[in-house]
Amino acid sequence: MSDFGGNLVGDGIHAARWCLEHNLIQQGYTILQETLVSYFVSGIDEKPEDLKDKNREVSRKAARIRDISTQAVKICRDSLPENKWAKPAADHPEVTRKFLAFYGPRKELLEVFNKLSNYRNDLNHAGYRQNPMKSDSFEKNLAGLIKSIERYGFHSAESE
């Protein structure tokens, strides 16, 4: 645990890299995706750790904000007008707009997130999708996603 420095994204990258090195590929994808969602949530001045709060109202709000963060990625990617937003983004347009403003200068990171989401879905659904990825690609793609996130300016304690 001493390898973790208390940096939200850096620790997530470190954990994903550890999973990659120990052939825990599916776990690496999950950790990396959840790390980016937490980064997005903290980027609009919300607290990702509220998801673990014992107060049910606080934890429900945190879960809703995490859902909106991923919906806002799609809204941003597809340039969806507000009348096409789904719930909960449509029910909380002020939060959704905060995410969209945060995502504006981070389009490359959103592309990484979209790839990560697609690969993770492919892995979690055992290839039961159109054009599934070959099994030997998951490890290589996870390594590439980690590097892409690091190129964006995030680093694990291990890579510093």
pLDDT (tens digit per residue) in 85-97: 999 999 999 999 9
* Residues 46 and 37 sit within 8 Å (Cβ to Cβ): no
pLDDT band at 17 (very low <50, low <70, confident <90, very high): very high
Residue-wise pLDDT for 52-93, tens only, equals 889 999 999 999 999 999 999 999 999 999 999 999 999 999
Mean pLDDT over the full length of the chain: 88
Residue 2: what pLDDT? 56
Q: What is the 3-state secondary structure (H, E, C) of 59-117?
A: HHHHHHHHHHHHHHHHHHHHCCCHHHCCCCCCCCHHHHHHHHHHHHHHHHHHHHHHHHH
Taking the model in full, what pTM does it have?
0.87
Tens-place pLDDT, residues 90-133: 999 999 999 999 999 999 999 999 999 988 888 877 767 677 67
Cα–Cα distance between 55 and 160 in angstroms, integer?
A: 37
Banded pLDDT at 50 (limits 50, 70, 90): confident
User: Diameter of the chain by CA atoms?
Assistant: 48
* Dihedral sign for Cα atoms in the order 70, 76, 79, 84: positive
Tell me how far apart the alpha carbons of residues 102 and 113 are, in angstroms, rounded to a whole number.
Answer: 14
